[in-house]
Amino acid sequence: MQKEYLDEFKDYLEKKSGILRKRIPHYLRWVDVFLWNMKGRNASEYEKILQKMVDRLHEQETIQEWQINQAVEAINLYWNIFLPTKTGVQAPPASWDVIIDKVNEMISMKHYSEKTRKSYVLHAQQFIKWLAGRAPVLVTAEDAKRYLAYLAVDRKVSSSTQNQAFNALLFMFKYGLKKEFAGLEDTPRAKRGRRVPVVFSKDEVSRVLREMHGVYKLMTQVIYGSGLRLGECMSLRVKDIDIENSKIIVHSGKGDKDRVTMLPQTLKGELAEQIARVKVLFENDTARGYGRTVIPNALERKYPSAASSFEWQFVFPANDLTVDRVRNRVIRYHVHAASLQREVRQAITAAGITKHAGVHTFRHSFATHLLQSGYSIRVIQDLLGHASLNTTMIYTHVNPVTERVVVSPLDIARDLS
């Protein structure tokens, strides 16, 4: 089906798509596989066939997540952007509700985090509001360019907010509007200033922890002792805690990457007790006809019983059951982020610390204190899950005690004064 256009699609990829040349053979291979799956099918079955193909790829242990994303990207480029220029067949104009639904669908298919989904949808909705009623079919990349300039110049948003908006609009144009998103190179961008992270001293860490109790204290100790992000700590499952080998496995961290970090020896007993409490809670829920938690869609399709198994329960579960409105069932979710953030802020105040600090300060302190103890910056990068060493290097500017303290030459040669 439409295979006669593959050579022209190759030419399109080489000259107009911006795809790296070394990746083009892989894009062509994915499209070829997809077209084979579409053989004898109606064009209206495109999304159904694509989803089936993605599901099958997830079932293959040799296929990695980035390869699946590449396949979706290649097929979308061919089917929704390139092919209509050859056949003249365009989809009927979509409403903004349909566009947002498509964004949600593609985020789910690409297994982005819930945090990313909320961010992309929020930025897309704000862009739609700024357009003041203009129909999707009339929107161009020039509109996105003017909107991003408006954020930077008029709204004076931070660089991180503007970058989030850029990525959200790029995603919406590609998968929702199915339009080119080019010519934005000269868009005014907010400059990202270099900020040294706020860090606790070791004494301040002790003072804050002394003001905390129960599960919130344990969560804070895990964040500081293992270098976790707030979301990573909340999302820990029973199976992720390897007490015997002193390891914590972090799944789908920032950038959807997995990593292994340390489990502090001093927390082994408390974490074992916490997991025992979770087991009692899980057994009680199960006896009442509940006992389910929430797991990623692709995993649930592959392992239908996983959501009802003990090993998939959250290490830090919420006190109350909740209704999963997407799946229409009762589940037990994890502790809400706001609860831990509130407890930490109160403890910081009670400890008499006036720094502008919060939960994430404990992760910064983890990195800084390891660096002060002489550990390699590369080791710390791996433990933190940073993609770039440059991100980790910021901690060398917090308190460089591993280097010799610089002394003024006037202080060295005191007889000159």
DSSP-derived letter for residue 38 is: T
Task: Say which of 12, 175, 216, 395 is annotated catalytic.
Answer: 395
Nearest 5 degrees, angle CA 8-CA 86-CA 40? 90
Distance in angstroms (rounded) separating the CA atoms of residues 180 and 77: 10
Cβ atoms of 332 and 321 within 8 Å: the answer is yes
Q: Map residue 326 onto helix, strand or coil.
A: coil
CA dist 385 and 292 (Å) reads 30
102, 112, 360, 375: the active-site residue: 360
CA–CA distance, 85 with 172 (Å, rounded to integer) = 20
Catalytic residue among 117, 229, 259, 268: 229
For β-strands 322-324 and 259-262, DSSP reports them as unpaired
Q: Assess whether 229 carries a catalytic annotation.
A: yes
| Strand residues in 251-360 grouped as ranges (E) | 259-262, 322-324, 329-331
From the candidates 237, 334, 363, 369, give the one annotated as an active-site residue.
363
Q: Which of 254, 259, 290, 375 is catalytic?
A: 254
Q: Is 363 a catalytic residue?
A: yes
Q: Taking the CA atoms of the chain, what radius of gyration do you get in angstroms?
A: 25
What are the CA-CA distances from residue 141 to residues 89, 103, 144, 160, 275 (Å)?
Answer: 22, 17, 5, 21, 51
**Cβ-based burial of 197 (10 A; exposed 0-12, middle 13-18, buried ≥19):** middle
Question: Which residues, 6 or more positions from 327, have their beta carbon under 8 angstroms from its beta carbon?
Answer: 294
**Alpha-carbon span 366 to 328, nearest angstrom:** 40
Question: Is residue 254 among the annotated active site residues?
Answer: yes
The reply to whether 155 belongs to the active site is no
Question: Which residues face 248 on adjacent strands?
Answer: 241, 261
Residues designated as active site: 229, 254, 360, 363, 386, 395
